[in-house]
Amino acid sequence: MSATIIDGKAFAAKVRAQVAEHVARLKEENGITPGLAVVLVGEDPASQVYVRSKGKQTVEVGMNSYEHKLEADTSEADLLALIARLNNDPAVHGILVQLPLPGHLNSDLVINSIDPAKDVDGFHISNVGLLGTGQKSMVPCTPLGCLMMLRDHHGSLSGMNAVVVGRSNIVGKPMAQLLLGDSCTVTIAHSRTKDLGAVCRGADILVAAVGRPEMIPGDWVKPGATVIDVGINRIQHPENPEKTKLVGDVDYASCAEVAGAITPVPGGVGPMTIACLLANTLTACCRANGLAEPEGLTA
Ligand code: GUN
């Protein structure tokens, strides 16, 4: 059997088009333009690439983008003062502080200083609690993107066995909450799980978010299962040691032979993350203005 490839790049383009259409309507009918503020502290090259890409896509869907680039040695007080300003700025509907922050800054303190209604990353402790109790919240972008792809592929996820490999606050834990919210039977596994292969083989939906290149082989996949690969790992190219290659957390070739559907790396989950950031900004803007939320773009 050869798996259906779930095309995250095409799906993300569809989500962005839906967001753009809704933004155009908001502007025309309500005179409102959603705004996203992205805060980058320091000069981490990967973060700079992400932030540039976020800003570009924000503008492309018709939203306002506010970029705040701060020196690496910015004090916590100065960063908190900027966030307080953004919290109080009615033109800003979403705030994202790019992680990781330089070591002298307390990430938890900084994230929890963002107004939860503007926390488009869904990392604020209030949003974590709201999601965990099934209440309306801002949902972390990567797991939201995975959920959208799963719903699109399966329709209902009710009663399916889902195994999430990885227990991070950004992906693993919120992913498990979302799948539970869609009535899956959910197992959270991780690098210390006993007989991880046997646990994975029980999954109708297998979400890999461990951050270890090609860790999950095809014989851990139940025939016909849906495999969502959240990993983005840069490894040495197997045929050319001078080059690098992006791979996921699953061994794509062997898993694709067994799975019913699979997300590739690159071009799977990755593009969905920024698309969902834009969707979350639109959702936050609609909520702030007491307007109906965009359909199909929330959990
Ligand atoms: N750094 C890497 N991924 C993310 C993300 O999703 N949000 C934020 N704020 N920082 C990140």
Mean pLDDT of 173-183: 98
Domain membership of residue 146 (yes or no) is yes
Is 98 known to be catalytic? yes
What is the distance between the alpha carbons of residues 277 and 293, in angstroms, rounded to a whole number? 15
**Residues 94, 187: one domain?**
no
Pocket test for ligand 1, best of 57, 95, 98 (most atoms within 8 A of CB): 98
> 148: pLDDT confidence band, cut at 50, 70 and 90?
very high
**Domain count of the fold of the chain:** 2
Other CB atoms within 10 A of residue 129 CB: 12
Task: Output the pLDDT for position 103.
Answer: 97
**Residues 145, 264: one domain?**
yes
What is the distance between the alpha carbons of residues 180 and 192, in angstroms, rounded to a whole number? 22
**Residues 215, 153: one domain?**
yes
**Residues 154, 201: one domain?**
yes
What is the distance between the alpha carbons of residues 145 and 141, in angstroms, rounded to a whole number? 6
Mean pLDDT of 68-75: 98
Residue 99 Cα to ligand 1 middle (Å): 5
**Residues 145, 221: one domain?**
yes
What is the distance between the alpha carbons of residues 285 and 31, in angstroms, rounded to a whole number? 12
Q: For 275-290, what is each residue's pLDDT tens digit?
A: 999 999 999 999 999 9
Q: For 199-227, what is each residue's pLDDT tens digit?
A: 999 999 999 999 999 999 999 999 999 99
Residue after which a domain boundary falls, among 92, 121, 150? 121
Domain membership of residue 222 (yes or no) is yes
Say if residue 231's pLDDT is above 70. yes
Is 219 known to be catalytic? no
Q: What is the mean pLDDT of the chain?
A: 97
Domain membership of residue 283 (yes or no) is no
**Residues 191, 221: one domain?**
yes
Domain hosting residue 98, numbered range: 30-121
| CATH code where residue 53 lies | 3.40.50.10860
Sign of CA dihedral 19, 21, 27, 29: negative
**Residues 110, 39: one domain?**
yes
Atom of ligand 1 nearest to the CA of 47: 1
Domain membership of residue 133 (yes or no) is no
Say if residue 1's pLDDT is above 70. no
> 183: pLDDT confidence band, cut at 50, 70 and 90?
very high
Mean pLDDT of 2-28: 98
Domain membership of residue 201 (yes or no) is yes
**Residues 157, 58: one domain?**
no
Please tell me which residue in 54, 118, 173, 222 is annotated as part of the active site: 54
Task: Output the pLDDT for position 75.
Answer: 98
Domain membership of residue 299 (yes or no) is no
**Residues 155, 112: one domain?**
no
Domain membership of residue 47 (yes or no) is yes
**Residues 173, 249: one domain?**
yes
> 182: pLDDT confidence band, cut at 50, 70 and 90?
very high
* Cα separations in angstroms, 156 against 16, 207, 263, 299: 23, 17, 19, 13
Percent pLDDT > 70 in the chain is 100
Mean pLDDT of 173-179: 98
Mean pLDDT of 145-156: 98
**Residues 159, 244: one domain?**
yes
Q: Is the peptide bond before 266 cis (omega within 30 degrees of 0)?
A: yes
Domain membership of residue 163 (yes or no) is yes
**Residues 149, 235: one domain?**
yes
Q: Which two tokens stand for residue 155?
A: 């329709």
| CATH code where residue 208 lies | 3.40.50.720
Pocket test for ligand 1, best of 121, 139, 276 (most atoms within 8 A of CB): 121
Mean pLDDT of 90-118: 98
